[in-house]
Chains A and B, each alone.
Chain A
Amino acid sequence: MTVRQTAEALGLTLLCGDGDREISGVYVGDLLSRCMSRVTEGCLWITIMSNINAVAVAALTDPACIVFCEDVEIDDVVLDRARENDIAIAKSTLDAYALCVAYHNACGENQ
């Protein structure tokens, strides 16, 4: 599924970035030095760490999209930095578990 298809299926709000990228895999995490080694190219990275340092991690690891979950606040500077680095960001009111379940189900339906 692409980022846009996933956003539709999971009810995410896509805030910036390329919606046409294909997603491969999911990682959930908030501790940045763990995310640094675990977020892989093209994955969906679900986190509550909606700060500028998360954007730096994404700029280095290149996930297809960061999903800021649990309705965390997102500063404009975060989105600006994401746009500068061509990083897609979406937000959701759901928690990480609910998002993973929804993504899993959506993948099944799209096969």
Chain B
Amino acid sequence: MSEAVKFHFDVDGSDFSSAGAASVMVKKKLRQLGYPPEVIRKVSIAMYEGEINMVIHANGGTADVEVYDNEIVIILSDKGPGIPNIELAMQEGYSTARDNIRNLGFGAGMGLPNMKKYTDSMEIDTRIGEGTTITMRVSL
């Protein structure tokens, strides 16, 4: 077993203009490491959506990406408001994004469904008033 490659990012919740930067960085690294385009696409979509959600719904957080021999694990952790109803939040089209956020192009209610669709597993651990941690795995 070779040592896992790990990346850690602090995701700034106050800066919309840099939202997505961590995902772009991970994409570039995975490309350098020679991963197949389909894998990079899945990781990019899943991580981007999670990263943006932390920015627009949770005032930022942290993103960790761990690359193992058989899978890539993405862990997104925030200290935001939590998700009261996961089943509802997972529905395509459900969004609590306000108008100023929607004007930027967010709020289609497709982020969480995309994260589920483009990963092999997704776990949501959320506590109201404490925060949310989402762990996603993409098999290699």
Contacts and interface: CB of A to CB of B under 8 A. Distances in A.
Contacts of B89: none
Interface in A46-83: 49, 51-54, 56-57, 59-61, 77
B128 interface: no
Interface string A33-48: 1111100010000000
A37 B110 contact: yes
B111 A33 contact: yes
Interface residues of B, number: 26
Contacts of A33: 49, 52, 106, 108-111, 114
A56 B24 contact: yes
Contact of A32 (B21, B37, B106, B118): B106
A30 interface: yes
Nearest to A78: B17
Contacts of A32: 52, 104-106, 108
A60 B20 CA distance: 9
A34 B20 contact: no
A53 B107 contact: no
Contacts of A61: 41, 44
Nearest to A85: B24
- Secondary structure of the A side of the interface? helix
A61 B27 CA distance: 10
A60 B45 contact: yes
Contacts of A31: 105-108, 110
B44 A60 contact: yes
A37 B45 CA distance: 7
Contacts of A53: 16-17, 19-20, 52, 104-106
19 contacts: A31-B107, A33-B49, A33-B106, A33-B108, A33-B109, A33-B111, A35-B105, A36-B49, A37-B45, A49-B104, A51-B105, A53-B16, A53-B17, A53-B104, A56-B19, A56-B20, A56-B21, A60-B27, A85-B24
Given A31-B110, A53-B106, 6 more contacts: A33-B111, A37-B118, A49-B104, A53-B52, A56-B19, A60-B45
Interface of A: 30-37, 41, 49, 51-54, 56-57, 59-61, 77, 85
